[in-house]
Amino acid sequence: MMVRETFDGKKHTDVCNGRKTEEEAITDFLEIFEIHHNTFNNFSKNANVSREEFIEFYRTLNPSYDDDLTFVSMVRGVWGVKNETPDVAARSYAGGVPDA
């Protein structure tokens, strides 16, 4: 799966407020992964986003949200994930029990 084709830049806060174009939001988002990759891989270029880089990005972003429901809502919005009533309390990342 390609991040560029999946990420919905139209729902980015700066796009909604008219501060960035959708393409700028997507480019900025992908640049975060490039910076992360370069930092931990002796600054070797890599145009791919690994699963580990993707998870680490959201792991570091999560604490900036007031609660898990708001965070999950944001993630679902930008990635177009359906299911309006997530049960985050049952997930291990929210302090609950891991999925069976």
* Inter-CA distances, 76 with 63, 68, 73, Å: 17, 12, 5
Answering whether pTM is above 0.75, one says no
Residue 15: how many other CB atoms lie within 10 Å: 18
Residue 18 is predicted with a pLDDT of: 93
pLDDT block averages, 10 residues each, the chain of length 100: 74 86 87 74 68 80 88 80 60 45
Residues 6+ apart with CB under 8 A from 26: 4, 7, 9
Residue 75 is predicted with a pLDDT of: 82
Residue 72 is predicted with a pLDDT of: 85
Residue 96 is predicted with a pLDDT of: 43
Residue 21 is predicted with a pLDDT of: 94
